[in-house]
Chain A
Amino acid sequence: MTIIVKQNVLKDLAVKDVMRRQVLRLPEDATIEKNINFLIKYKLNALLLTAKKNEPTGVVSKTDIMSAYYASLPIESPARDIMSSPPLFCGADDSLESALDKMRAEGIYRLYARERASQSVVGVLAYPDVVGLLYLYCSRCEYSLVNRIRKKLETDEVSRFRVKDVMTPTVRSFRENDSLLTIMEGLSAYRFGAVLITGENDRAVGVVSKTDLILAYAHGVSSSDSARTVMFSPVLSCDETEFLEGAIRTMIFSEVHRLFVHRGDPQNIVGVLSLTDAARARSGSCRACVSSRIKVDLHD
């Protein structure tokens, strides 16, 4: 009897092989301002909050801070007032697959890893790190684009994923005159990390991300100010026909969580490619990887 077992490159990996071991914590009475300082300084998306005896009691993410900004909460307020509680955990020895399943089921972007015996927090697992690992595998693979070019191979027998195969084909955009409050409502309603900002004649002029918004909060920018005041420009984008491998590389390189996708003209934005989506796909960037994921076991 032939049983087809689906495999992927992340099979056999444990959470501890992928997690980041540096877990930054702050006491839950630390101010929102201090939390922003830590998030920006250490380039994190969330912090673990602790109560007395170092007991983890909650998580503060950029989303939580954006909500505080939206609600005009004083920046000196304790993070306790806005944290998500309790934190969600997995075991450091758990399989990466089960942890990713849990993240997807719970609709969350990170899990804190605990050591089984002591129950102490020893790491944090987040999507960008998973994509980073996948990219590392890709770059080492003999089929990778970089290695093909290096070996000066002219034929490419591998069918590679292109950005259009995995991107989200809808884009939410806001006008550069829209207030930050309007932008925050949009980010919150669609659960996005960033939105496209358009100017005259619907030209794509910039991007406002949650990072830009928490910086605006820290810098005392009024939430009724326009998107133009805080947006990052130019828009980082790639063509929809670009290889996924290249796009992931650009994202990791530029430390962004998403690339906008254009068709031909950079002004013609047709989709978004996010690191989270790439991590959820759980495969490399070409079909050689996908086919190797199908393992055929022969049994008598």
Chain B
Amino acid sequence: MSTAKDLMTTKFHALRPDMSVADAVKSFKEASENEERKVFGIMVTDRHSRLVGMLSMYDILLYLRPKHVHIWGMMDDIEAEGLMDQACERLKSIRVADIMTPDVITVTSDTHLMVVLDLMIKKHIRRVPVVEGEKIKGIIYISTLFYHLLARVKS
């Protein structure tokens, strides 16, 4: 029986809650290079290495999205560059904890892979940390799960 521990990646990056979002963006780039995969979300841990949240590219984009975007969409006299400059200026005072998702869905090492799959689908999540007690053991990415399951289809 395949469980979470069989598929989890034990090499992962983590962000700190009081880190600036600008530094977090740098970490996304570094993590992608180090892990040789595109990293779309990183776990956030406190100083005792306990999981306190998850910051995804989506969270950062959500913050960059203009508040009145439904108005901009109907108008043709908007300079997109100026909008993003404003958004990036606002981002300077924002920390990881301010925009991360604090409620993270986790599994344990012995959670069945089908349960992990079910969680990813039902909760619309692409990565699930594997946690034992207060310790992070690893993380399962949807792509790893996908290729693991699809390998059987191929054969």
Binding site for B on A (CB under 8 A): 34, 36-37, 40-43, 128-129, 132-133, 135-136, 139, 146, 212, 215, 218-219, 232, 252-255
Contacts and interface: CB of A to CB of B under 8 A. Distances in A.
A253 B86 contact: yes
Contacts of A34: 102
29 contacts: A34-B102, A36-B98, A37-B99, A37-B102, A40-B94, A40-B98, A41-B62, A41-B63, A41-B98, A41-B99, A128-B68, A129-B68, A132-B68, A132-B70, A136-B71, A136-B74, A139-B75, A139-B77, A212-B93, A215-B98, A218-B98, A219-B18, A219-B95, A252-B68, A252-B71, A253-B83, A254-B86, A255-B66, A255-B86
Nearest to B18: A219
Contact of B93 (A129, A146, A232): A232
Interface string B42-80: 000000000000000001001100111011001101000
Given A139-B77, A212-B93, 18 more contacts: A34-B102, A37-B98, A37-B100, A40-B94, A41-B59, A41-B63, A42-B62, A43-B67, A128-B68, A136-B74, A215-B94, A218-B95, A218-B97, A219-B18, A252-B68, A253-B83, A255-B68, A255-B86
A219 B70 CA distance: 31
Contacts of A219: 18, 95
B90 interface: yes
B41 to A, nearest CB: 15
Contacts of B102: 34, 37
Contacts of B133: none
A140 to B, nearest CB: 8
Interface of B: 18, 59, 62-63, 66-68, 70-71, 74-75, 77, 82-83, 86, 90, 93-95, 97-100, 102
A16 to B, nearest CB: 14
A280 to B, nearest CB: 18
Contacts of A135: 71
A152 to B, nearest CB: 15
Going nearest first, the 6 A-B pairs with the smallest beta carbon separation are: A41-B99, A40-B98, A132-B68, A255-B67, A132-B71, A43-B67
B98 A136 contact: no
Contacts of B94: 40, 215
Contacts of A132: 68, 70-71
A40 B95 CA distance: 10
Contacts of A139: 75, 77
A93 to B, nearest CB: 21
Contacts of A252: 68, 71
Contacts of A136: 71, 74-75
A129 to B, nearest CB: 8
Nearest to A36: B98
Contacts of B75: 136, 139
Contacts of A212: 93
B26 to A, nearest CB: 20
B74 A253 contact: no
A212 B93 CA distance: 9
Contacts of B70: 132
Nearest to A147: B77
A37 B97 contact: yes
Contacts of B59: 41
B56 to A, nearest CB: 12
Contacts of A37: 97-100, 102
A146 B75 CA distance: 11
A132 B67 CA distance: 10
A34 B74 CA distance: 34
A215 B63 CA distance: 15
Contacts of A128: 67-68
A252 B86 CA distance: 11
Nearest to A220: B18
Contacts of B82: 253
A217 to B, nearest CB: 11
A37 B98 CA distance: 5
